[in-house]
Structure 1
Amino acid sequence: MAASRRGRRPPARGRRGWPVAALAALGLLLACHRPPPPAVAVWFHTGQPAERALLERQVARYNAGQPPLPVRLTLLPEGSYHAQVQAAAAAGELPDLFEVDGPYLARYVWQGAVRPLEALLPPAVVADLLPSLRLQGRVAGHLYGVGCFDSGLGLYADRAALARVGARLPAGPQEAWSASEMEAVLARLAARDPDGAVLDLKLNLHGEWESYAFLPLLVSAGGGVLDPATGRATGFLDGAASVRALATVQRWIRRGWVDPNLDDAAFPQRRVALAWGGHWDYHRYREALGEDLALLPLPDFGEGSRTGMGSWQWVIAAASPRAEAAAAFLAFLLRPEEVAATAAANGAVPGRIAAVARSPLYREGGPLRLFLTQLAGGVAVPRPATPAYPVITASFQRCFEAVRDGADPAA
């Protein structure tokens, strides 16, 4: 017995404590690799700083309300945003809620990347959206995208300069200058101008600006890029009406009436009396011209004044397992007070009728009310809602630049 007891090994110091320490270390390791709690993944392009900062505050306010699922926001560079979203779509790794530029919506629908929103958003909210937003967001009979704002396009004018040549100021689309009246105004302005350049078409800009700004002129003339009956460009983009519209713009350029605007300052420096421009130009133009600043509709090329429309839209991924939670955050962003805040941050047209009265710029009597009138009154025309839009817009941009540089519009 004694020998047996002497043969036993005494317990090592601390041996009984090692399982506890090991379990603690394992717990710490698992905690470090624990997946994040469920959240609604949202992607947003890093556009204007004020708009970005507002969305971050909106996310914080929404999350502070303790929704069923919080929102996790990811900001992506605007320059590469579309490419990153396309890559995520191809890899099946889209977030729950993300933005798309309005004209590209049909491509995502065709890819099966996004889902209809009718069953996810309150009908009263959808009904209160600007008609232009409902039109832009509808593809193949379903609403796939909604925006908190839309864009405005018009003709900014120097009241004093126009008064000196006796030009009238159209109050709305129905009173827009005809093509011939606008040419007469340009000629009178040029006769009093040192270099004869009196119109800014923002020829310093390229890419989507050309499609957004000048496709409405083709529609105003009775043309366009795609035949609505056949969906084909042949015989329509090169048809008589479209050619006539492009030839008119080319004539303005050839006569020296258009400032090349290489410094993007032709209008605020008052080198020109008229400027093709969007809602984003208003504040710097107002600062430069003060009470002399006026906003006019684009000219009527024969079938009524037309203007551009379209901007960023929110969509929900088709494969999202959190679609209802994503829609809840989207409904929050579409509240009138949030829509008004977004429009105030980026200067765009409020996307809901209920939010317009909150905007000093767009409410009745506001200096940019014309933009709202155009979007709500059927004057604005969408860019073609087709999966082939990236090809179409690139083709039109090449066509426009060739005409700008002197090519035959009918070629």
Structure 2
Amino acid sequence: MHWSIRNITARLALAGPLPRLFLLAYIAMISGCGDATAPERNTVLDAWAHAGQELERSTLVDQVLRFNAAHRDLRVRLTLIPEGSYNAQVQAAAAAGELPDLLEFDGPFLYGYVWQGRLQPVDRLLTPHLLSDLIPSIIAQGTYHGRLWSVGAFDSGLGLYADRTRLARAGIPIPTPARPWTSLEFTEILDRLAADDPDGQVLDLKLNYAGEWYTYAFSPLIQSAGGDLVERNGSGRATGILNGPETVRAMTIVQDWIISGRVDPNIDDAAFITGRTALAMGGHWNWSQYREHLGRDLLLLPLPDFGRGPRTGQGSWSWAVTADSLNPEAASRFLSFLLRPEEVLAITRANGAVPATRSAVSRSRDYRPGGPLHIFVEQLETGAAIPRPRTPAYPVITAAFQKSFDRIRSGGDVQAALDRAARMIDLEIEDNQGYPLIGRGREEAMR
């Protein structure tokens, strides 16, 4: 594949405005013209990543520069692709047989690429020591059909943010992971907080968000009740699970919160920071802004327990080696570099996410034991975090659930909404004969 300054610049332009120095550093790194004295490289690895927020992408570019400077025989050539069109561009390249050596994936799409035979396992490429350093949720997200296909430098955190002063004023005890609020207690707490609130809307569920947020945020409540999105250990079907009694009960409780007027629609995305709500469901990405506005009054709490213990979301972007790569061992050297503690900390300082390795967690001011965000690590390590359904059908699963949630939040019949979503998911799975690994995907898994 030929890369020119023109098409590199065009890709970066699609990613949005970038600082001039960032653009120049990127072009020099890719073209090899930035240093006339640079040693000739024996191996060049192409790596594609999503163009996230500015600090995150500039950190990744710095990491590539550091890796290239430290390896005389190897150079990584990085391409940043806009997040919104990332999967479409990767799929087009796969169809054309033009995938790079390394790809970054968001969780919803990983398993589809394994099924298509586009990736090769990384468990045979990384050292046992490195694999043992990864927090369990990273292994869980990247594992499919008994093999590890991807590893990430960070994971996500989901919890409940609270205003300490308002809880104290209402005489509400603070929960812990060992003693969380039950769903019944949580409903009563909303009513107590509403008694001292002008409009009674005391909870932010991020109803202004779109897309996968609904699956990510609300499937933990379903799983806490004993339900799920699909059957996990057999057919993978949704009927009887997504529309089963446990799921219906959990979503009926959430619907009651909304219909009874306890949830702020959060149209301006400022319900919690302006003090309109005392509680907000949110992720690690909310911490910095919330802390800036609430200071020491900010609390991070587990989600309510719907009967089977509190659960939480997990998963984020991770790296995989393509099946077409002629240099998988060299690619693993780059992955190992990104998983060094100092590099994990560099990227998580940029995006605020949970460090992917125990060694990095121990050195993180926010995530180490006793740190303000350690609850996210604790949840990811103790089994409270359940990975997305590991199936190529996941994009359909999350789309169907979002449609059902839209009906439920508007007061629609919960059972009927979930029945419709389950049928849509099962039809997708039937059309693809349950997604058995075939051809190259099966060969890679069997190695």
Out of 157, 162, 187, the position equivalent to 1:183 is: 187
Query: Residue 103 of structure 1 aligns with which residue?
Result: 108
**Which residue of structure 2 lines up, in the alignment, with residue 87 of structure 1?**
92
Structure whose CA Rg is larger: 1
Q: How does 1:19-30 map to 2 (within 5 A)?
A: none
Q: Does residue 402 of the first structure (1) align with residue 407 of the second (2)?
A: yes
Aligned mates of 1:94, 1:79 — CA distance in 2: 18
SS at match of 2:272: coil
Match of 1:304 in 2: 309
Q: Deviations over 1:215-252 (max 9, x none)?
A: 11111111011122431101111110000011000000
Q: TM-score, normalised by structure 2?
A: 0.83
The offset of 1:100, in angstroms, is 0.5
Distance 1:181 1:104 in 2: 37
Partner residue, 1:200? 204
* Residue of 46, 50, 53 corresponding to 1:48: 53
* Distance of 1:405 and 1:82 partners within structure 2: 31
State the match for 1:334 in structure 2.
339
Verify: 1:230 aligned to 2:235, yes or no.
yes
Which position in structure 2 is the counterpart of 1:374? 379
Rounded Cα–Cα distance in structure 1 between residues aligned with 2:118 and 2:165: 51
Contact 1:130 1:351 (C-alpha < 8 Å) held by counterparts: yes
**For the residues of structure 2 that align with 1:201 and 1:113, how far apart are their CA atoms?**
37
Tell me what 2:136 maps to.
131
Q: Is residue 390 of structure 1 aligned with residue 395 of structure 2? A: yes
Could you tell me how far 1:147 is from its partner in structure 2? 0.4
Q: 2:288 aligns with which of 279, 283, 287?
A: 283
Contact 1:103-1:310 at 8 Å conserved across structures: no
Percent of paired sites with the same residue: 58
- The code of the aligned residue for 1:310 comes to G
Aligned residue in 1 for 2:166: 161
CA displacement at 1:37 relative to structure 2: 7.6
CA–CA distance in structure 1, aligned partners of residues 376 and 283 of structure 2: 9
SS of 1:270's equivalent in the other structure is: coil
Matched, 1:259 2:302: no
Normalised to the residue count of structure 1, the TM-score between the two structures is: 0.90
One-letter identity of the residue aligned with 2:253: T
Instruction: Kindly state the Cα deviation for residue 45 of structure 1 after the two structures are TM-superposed.
Output: 0.6
Greater than 2 Å deviation, 4+ residue runs: none
Residue of structure 1 equivalent to 2:125: 120
Q: Secondary structure at the match of 2:280?
A: strand
Q: Residues 328-354 of structure 1: CA distance to partner in whole angstroms, max 9, x if unpaired?
A: 111100111111111111100000000
Cα distance between partner residues in 1 of 2:46 and 2:108: 23
Q: Any conservation in 2 of the 1:344–1:359 contact (CA below 8 Å)? A: no
In the TM superposition, what is the alpha-carbon distance from 1:68 to its structure 2 partner?
A: 2.2
Partner amino acid, structure 1, of 2:402: Q
SS of match in other structure, 1:175: coil
Q: Check conservation: 1:68, 1:325, Cα contact below 8 A.
A: no
Is 1:152 matched up with 2:157?
A: yes
Deviation per CA, 1:107-142: give whole Å up to 9, x if none.
111000000011211111011101000011100000
Q: CA deviation at 1:156?
A: 0.3
Q: Corresponding residue for 2:434?
A: none
Amino acid aligned to 1:192: D
Secondary structure class of the residue paired with 1:40: strand
Name the CA distance, whole Å, in 1 between partners of 2:250 and 2:276: 25
> Matched residues in 1 for 2:108 and 2:315: separation?
7
Whole-Å Cα distance in 2 between the matches of residues 86 and 393 of structure 1? 19
Select which of 50, 55, 65 maps to 1:60: 65
Q: Separation in 2 of the partners of 1:73 and 1:370?
A: 34
Alignment partners' CA distance in 2, 1:387 and 1:40: 27
Cα distance in 2 for partners of 1:134, 1:47 equals: 23
CA deviation profile, 1:344-397 (whole Å, cap 9, x unmatched): 111000000001122111011111110000001110011100011111111111
Q: Which residue of 2 aligns with 1:354?
A: 359
1:3 corresponding residue in structure 2: none
**Partners in 2 of 1:39 and 1:73 — Cα distance?**
10
Secondary structure at the aligned position of 2:118 is classed as coil
Q: Which moved more, 1:380-389 or 1:222-231?
A: 222-231
2-structure distance, mates of 1:150, 1:206? 20
2: CA distance between counterparts of 1:73 and 1:408? 49
Structure 1: which 5+ runs fail to align?
Answer: 1-35
Q: 1:43-87, CA deviations, whole angstroms, 9 ceiling, x for partnerless residues?
A: 111112111111111111111113422010111111111111111
Instruction: Work out the number of aligned pairs and report it.
Output: 375
| RMSD between superposed Cα atoms in Å | 1.1
Contact 2:42–2:73 (CA under 8 A) maintained in structure 1: no
* Distance of 1:342 and 1:357 partners within structure 2: 15
SS at match of 1:71: strand
